[in-house]
């Protein structure tokens, strides 16, 4: 929100400053070419620059952010600093100011009934004619500063103006300083004191900038196609500041509910994947364990058959030799008999084997 507010503050200041610059440069260049003089003197232009740079930057760049900033889409990386709405405001207001200034320059003495100062010499005192032009230019600049507060095509340029005390304080101080400069500036500012009626004319032209701004906004918003609008530069009623608190609360609760459902679905999917992995793992490991167990049983049975065959061969040799002769050396110790399996014990305890063993002669040293 603060980032968007800073971006908007910079855009507001640029919209105001570029408008004043276009008007000032146009007036100075055209008037020099036509009458070899300019109605805006050097010191007067310094005062205008002070209004544009220092005071306007403080007034336009100090507005606090509002919730309406979050109702628009964020600015993209390729978004131009000067939007289409800002360009139409700059060119529209600049054209209006230039027309009014040149109207007063060539026909102001007839409109306000004052002496013509168009071809006055350099040695003559400042004329009310050129002072009227300078004062009108400043008044239009001050009222256009109010227009510059809105850069997205809003109609109500006074919305939220009371929430920024620095803005209207600077505006009032600038207006009061302009009154002092015009009425008491004399040779220092090349001005002559104006009457009350002449001040009303100047303020009238300044107020016309507000009406002209409304006309520009209404005209362009009606003819500009929807395809060329951006929700970040020209928000619509559905997604901008026309949302009621109830609709905002409803939208917030809907987003919160959607987020809750998303997390539940994610956890459910994760649990399902874990069960699938476990089922796959159990289905692969158990057959392998059964295969290993079957191989062990086969090997055990083969060893048992091999032991049984050896025992049969030993018994056959004892019967054939007539004595208890252990092949390959002395008889094994008694503790090794525990290593014989059940099949070998059955053979040794067989009745025929026992009778054959009883008829064998005793060997010395054997018990």
Give percent of the chain with pLDDT exceeding 90.
Answer: 23
pLDDT band at 350 (very low <50, low <70, confident <90, very high): very low
Tell me what pLDDT residue 103 has: 93
Helix (H, G, I), strand (E, B) or coil at 24: helix
Determine the Cα–Cα distance for residues 1 and 79; give it in Å rounded to an integer.
17
Mean pLDDT of the chain: 76
Tell me what pLDDT residue 336 has: 45
Tell me what pLDDT residue 2 has: 66
Both structure tokens of 74 = 């964020």
Summarised one tens digit per residue, pLDDT across range 156-210 is 888 888 888 888 899 999 999 999 999 998 888 889 999 999 999 999 999 999 9
Q: Give all strands (DSSP E) within 140-206, no chain letters.
A: none
CA angle 287, 292, 294 (to 5 degrees): 95
Provide the Cα torsion 272, 278, 283, 284; round to 10°.
Answer: 130
**Worst-scoring range by mean pLDDT, 86-95, 182-191, 265-274?**
265-274
Determine the Cα–Cα distance for residues 153 and 260; give it in Å rounded to an integer.
37
Distances 193 to 59, 118, 212 between C-alpha atoms, Å: 28, 18, 28
Mean pLDDT of 47-64: 82
Residue 175, exposed/middle/buried by CB under 10 A (0-12, 13-18, 19+)?
A: middle
- Collect all residues with Cβ–Cβ distance below 8 Å to 59 and sequence separation of at least 6: 145, 164, 166, 167, 170, 171
| Higher-confidence position of 239 and 280 | 280
Determine the Cα–Cα distance for residues 103 and 99; give it in Å rounded to an integer.
6
| Higher-confidence position of 273 and 251 | 273
Distances 222 to 15, 45, 210, 215, 322 between C-alpha atoms, Å: 22, 37, 19, 11, 128
Residue 59: closest CA among 15, 98, 3, 2: 15
Question: Spelled out in words, what is the top-level CATH class assigned to the domain 2-243?
Answer: mainly alpha
Q: How far is CA 308 from the centre of its chain?
A: 84
**Domain assignments of the chain as residue spans, ordered by start:** 2-243, 248-322+340-352
Mean pLDDT of 298-310: 75
């Amino acid at each position: 929100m603060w980032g968007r507010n800073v971006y908007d503050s910079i855009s507001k200041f640029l919209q105001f400053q570029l408008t004043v610059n276009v008007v000032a440069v146009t007036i100075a260049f055209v008037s020099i070419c036509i009458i070899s003089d300019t109605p805006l003197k050097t010191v007067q232009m310094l005062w205008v620059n002070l209004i544009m740079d220092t005071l306007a930057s403080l007034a336009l760049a100090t507005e606090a952010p509002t919730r309406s900033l979050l109702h628009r889409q964020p600015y993209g990386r390729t978004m131009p600093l000067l939007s289409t709405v800002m360009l139409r405001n700059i060119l529209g207001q600049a054209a209006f100011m230039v027309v009014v200034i040149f109207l007063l320059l060539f026909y102001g003495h007839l409109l306000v009934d004052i002496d013509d100062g168009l071809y006055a010499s350099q040695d003559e005192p400042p004329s009310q004619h050129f002072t009227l032009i300078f004062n009108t230019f400043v008044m239009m600049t001050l009222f256009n500063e109010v227009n510059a507060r809105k850069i997205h095509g809003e109609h109500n340029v006074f919305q939220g103006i009371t929430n920024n005390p620095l803005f209207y304080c600077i505006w009032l101080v600038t207006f009061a300083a302009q009154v002092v400069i015009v009425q008491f500036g004399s040779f220092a500012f090349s001005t002559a004191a104006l009457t009350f009626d002449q001040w009303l004319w100047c303020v009238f032209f300044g107020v016309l900038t507000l009406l002209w701004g409304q006309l520009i906004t209404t005209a362009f918003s009606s003819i500009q196609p929807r395809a060329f609008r951006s929700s970040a530069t020209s928000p619509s009623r559905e997604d901008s500041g026309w949302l009621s608190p109830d609709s905002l609360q409803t939208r917030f609760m809907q987003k919160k509910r959607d987020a809750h459902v998303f997390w539940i679905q994610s956890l459910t999917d994760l649990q399902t994947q874990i069960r699938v992995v476990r089922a796959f793992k159990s289905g692969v490991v158990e057959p392998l364990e059964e295969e290993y167990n079957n191989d062990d049983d086969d090997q055990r049975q083969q060893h048992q058959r091999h032991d049984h065959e050896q025992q049969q061969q030993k018994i056959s040799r004892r019967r054939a030799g007539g004595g208890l002769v252990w092949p390959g050396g002395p008889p094994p110790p008694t503790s090794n008999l525990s290593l014989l399996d059940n099949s070998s014990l059955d053979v040794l305890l067989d009745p025929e084997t026992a009778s054959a063993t009883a008829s064998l002669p005793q060997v010395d040293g054997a018990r």
